[in-house]
Amino acid sequence: MFNRRLFLIILIAVLSCICAYAATRCNKWVGSTEVYGKLCTDHGFGSKADNCAVCGKWVGSAKIYAKLCNDHAFGSKKDDCVVCGKWVGSSKVPAKLCSDCGFGSKADNCARMK
């Protein structure tokens, strides 16, 4: 038997999680900066390096690199992981975007998570 109330409660919970996750991206327009985000060893190791820095989906054949806005590309902030904010150290793994998160003008928005 279908329980409408339970369905609505679960739907609201799922949507609020999705909205909260999406709202944590900086998303400012990067302008003319050509600074690309990097991943720390936790997020850039093995197959994790091929996950989207914003939504976590597999990037597949998309070769869209995550850019940083002026606020996050300045000074030592550019050496912080795009996903978690930890210092990347000697890691040179670029942060990538899937085709959904990097489609069109979305690729020109800062990918750094707040």
Instruction: Give the whole-angstrom CA distance, residue 41 versus residue 31.
Output: 28
Residue by residue, DSSP assigns 8-76 as: HHHHHHHHHHHHHHHTTB---B-TT--PBPB--TTTSSGGGGGBBTTT--B-TT--EEPB--TTTSSGG
Write out pLDDT tens, residues 77-101.
899 999 999 999 988 899 999 999 9
- What is the pLDDT at residue 21? 46
More confident residue, 8 or 104: 104
- Residues paired with 96 in a beta bridge: 52, 65
The pLDDT value given to residue 86: 93
pLDDT, tens digit, 9 for 90 and up, residues 12-66: 766 554 544 444 788 899 988 889 999 999 999 988 999 999 999 999 888 899 9
Measured between alpha carbons, how far is 59 from 43 in angstroms, rounded to an integer? 14
Specify the pTM. Answer: 0.73
